[in-house]
Structure 1
Amino acid sequence: MALDRAANPVMTLSKDGGCHMALRYWLIIVALAFGWGSSFFFNEILLRELGPLWVAAGRVSMGALGCWVWLATRRRIGWVGWPMVGHLFVFGLLQYAVPLTVYPLGQQVITSSAAGIINAMTPIMVVVVSHLWPGGERATVLKSIGVVLGFSGIVLLALPSLGGVAESSPWGLLFTMIAPLCYGLAMNYLRQMDAMDRAALTAWSLALGAMVLVPVALVTEGVPHIQRAETWAALLVIGFVLTAAAFLVLFWLIPRIGGTTASTITFIAPVSSLLLGVLVLKETVLPIQFLGFAVILGGLLFIDGRLFRVWRKDQPNG
């Protein structure tokens, strides 16, 4: 990331020559992280009146609508060609349709806080898939340690369930791991579309995902009947705010702060899912599960690597 303030107004130089990001961008990062972490809480609200497939279909459909409206207001709608539509369809399944269905399905037998912790496995799955992906990035020693810690944390999270003393089913926890695996596949498949505008990519892939989910939801769960105002509110928030607006803001933010800094969202998001699950939904999180969460965060630190680079830099030269 460049330190030239004229080229990058986000960064300012401190007196000791270091650089600091403007406070407003950190606030946006925190807001995005807490927003995405709260999506598991809103899933719980929606599941009181909707089937899990309609929860996913509603979120993806509203997210697509929000993105297309934004593109239309900026006259950025255009045809991308059939080959690209094929890539977008695959990406839409991996990034949106499948994982956003897996979470509400899983949350029928696991808590929202457990779902939020499992979602934190996404960067770990990205490392695993990238290592195995043809032409992908090979895992370093630090990243390999992070992967081991991540899966160890999931084991700690599931242990109380195996003993029958936790609210989440161990099979539900295992099933929900499909979601971060899909994200790992999607992030590697994204290389097929590197040149495409990210806002347009999101709009197309959400729309194609909705075209799959809505018919499946109609066939399997019938026509939804929403009677509660809280269901409509949760659907509007999770669709327009946490899907359409949040991704558009993220794509606006990344060129300004860099992808590495934006990745700190992963560290913060599980905190809001835990807080809302425990304080609002009255879910129980046992001490060993908090330990599992801490181990997963430790794994993320190894994968991120920044703390270790800073530590090496601060070591005196021999």
Structure 2
Amino acid sequence: MTQPTPQNPGLLNWLLIIVLGMIWGGAFMSVRLALDGFAPLTVAALRVSIAALCLLIIGQILGQGIGRVSRDAGSLGWRFAVILGTVSIAAPLTLLSWGQQFVPSALAGVAMGAVPLLVLPLVYVFSPEEGIGPRRVFGIVLGFCGLCLLIGPSAFGGTANAFGFWGGAACIIAACGYAIGSVVTRRAPTMPPITLASATLCVASAILVPLALWFDGWPSSWPAKPTQAILFAALFPTALAAVIRVRVVTTAGSLFMSLTSYQVPVWSVIFGVTLMNESLPQNVFLALALILTGIGISQSRSLISMLRRN
């Protein structure tokens, strides 16, 4: 069986990023619902701590416990876990929770489309073996143009709330954290996916839980719908997605992984419109056509290779 590479990610990795796109697209809706009952920092802290507990149990059962960080990678493994837990989990989730108080969930998801453009220069500097040629650059830029068309020039600043611009800016800064995290994950020492994912979530929990208790205190009530939304966000977009993300990045590369960010706006818009009654941009179909075309161009070689082998 051929091992997946950044040039030939393989069928399984393609299926995994499609699943990730759907899961992460629904995350913004669940966070929006959770904010109806909990403060932003509490939402982020509960999300990562529940996810960390879940992965610790699963990892122990499957022989991918957190102890393997020291056994497989030593102190270097923990240094990477601290960086990833801080930059790509704790900071982005806090920014997203705060930003979604002021912008629709669909627009928060659209902001994640900035990830591929942010990943591109990082890959060029820190992960050159993934390969960046004119074809990939053109495909990513074309997809990003589709995202710009999707949100419109005043998407964030035009919200009724005065903090709309800053809420959108927080979501875009969160995307920077995800972009950095993708490249750092690619350079991390080899260890099982659940091991690395649970270690990073534990680091994020160690940061966010004390901060949430200090600033927000223990929740005085646990409303049914916001609590259910937090559980969904913890188990699927955080715990399950963290494992899938590590697997995809370590086998197919951070640039391939960044293509998930083109799906996230699509799913976040679909979920926001159908389930949250948020308004749909008029030019959504043309925008999505550009996005999908950009994905096809940037990964055309791997698509053709995969179809020939299957």
- Whether TM-score is above 0.5 comes out as yes
Deviation string 1:110-134 (CA, Å, 9 cap, x unpaired) is: 2111122222332332223212437
Q: Which residue is equivalent to 2:7?
A: none
Q: Which residue is equivalent to 1:201?
A: 196
Q: Are the counterparts in 2 of residues 136 and 188 from structure 1 also a CA contact under 8 Å? A: no
Q: Which residue is equivalent to 1:96?
A: 89
Which whole-Å CA distance do the structure 1 matches of 2:126 and 2:188 have between them? 16
Which whole-Å CA distance do the structure 1 matches of 2:192 and 2:225 have between them? 35
Deviation string 1:178-237 (CA, Å, 9 cap, x unpaired) is: 122212211221244241222100000100011111122222223223331112211111
Q: Which residue is equivalent to 2:207?
A: 212
Q: Are the counterparts in 2 of residues 160 and 166 from structure 1 also a CA contact under 8 Å? A: no
Change (3 A) 1:123 1:273: same
Which whole-Å CA distance do the structure 2 matches of 1:73 and 1:308 have between them? 36
Report the 3-state secondary structure (helix = DSSP H, G, I; strand = E; otherwise coil) of the residue aligned with 2:226: helix
Task: Give unpaired runs (5+ residues) of structure 2.
Answer: 5-9
Change (3 A) 1:100 1:34: same
Q: Which has the higher contact order (CA 8 A, sep 6+)?
A: 2
Q: Which residue is equivalent to 1:53?
A: 41
Q: CA deviation at 1:303?
A: 3.0
Change (3 A) 1:232 1:291: same
Q: Which residue is equivalent to 1:140?
A: 133
Mean alpha-carbon deviation: is it higher for 73-82 or for 36-45? 73-82
Which whole-Å CA distance do the structure 1 matches of 2:209 and 2:157 have between them? 38
Pick one of 177, 184, 188 that aligns with 1:182. 177
Q: Superposition RMSD on alpha carbons, in Å?
A: 3.7
Pick one of 100, 114, 119 that aligns with 1:121. 114
Q: What is the one-letter code of the residue matched to 1:304? A: Q
Q: TM-score, normalised by structure 2?
A: 0.78
Q: More helix by proportion, 1 or 2?
A: 2
Which whole-Å CA distance do the structure 1 matches of 2:244 and 2:157 have between them? 42
Q: What is the one-letter code of the residue matched to 1:97? A: A
Aligned residue pairs total: 293
Asked whether 1:149 is paired with 2:149, we answer no
Change (3 A) 1:132 1:296: farther
Q: What is the one-letter code of the residue matched to 1:102? A: L
Percent pairwise identity = 28
Q: Which residue is equivalent to 2:274?
A: 279
Larger radius of gyration: 1
Pick one of 69, 75, 86 that aligns with 2:79. 86
Which whole-Å CA distance do the structure 1 matches of 2:277 and 2:147 have between them? 22
Pick one of 105, 109, 115 that aligns with 1:112. 105
Mean alpha-carbon deviation: is it higher for 150-159 or for 228-237? 150-159
Mean alpha-carbon deviation: is it higher for 162-171 or for 196-205? 162-171
Q: CA deviation at 1:94?
A: 2.2
Which whole-Å CA distance do the structure 2 matches of 1:198 and 1:51 have between them? 31
Q: Which residue is equivalent to 1:232?
A: 227
Q: Which residue is equivalent to 1:62?
A: 50
Report the 3-state secondary structure (helix = DSSP H, G, I; strand = E; otherwise coil) of the residue aligned with 1:110: coil
Mean alpha-carbon deviation: is it higher for 66-75 or for 240-249? 240-249
Q: What is the one-letter code of the residue matched to 1:152? A: C
Change (3 A) 1:31 1:300: closer
Q: Are the counterparts in 1 of residues 116 and 259 from structure 2 also a CA contact under 8 Å? A: no
Change (3 A) 1:53 1:298: farther
Q: Are the counterparts in 1 of residues 193 and 247 from structure 2 also a CA contact under 8 Å? A: no
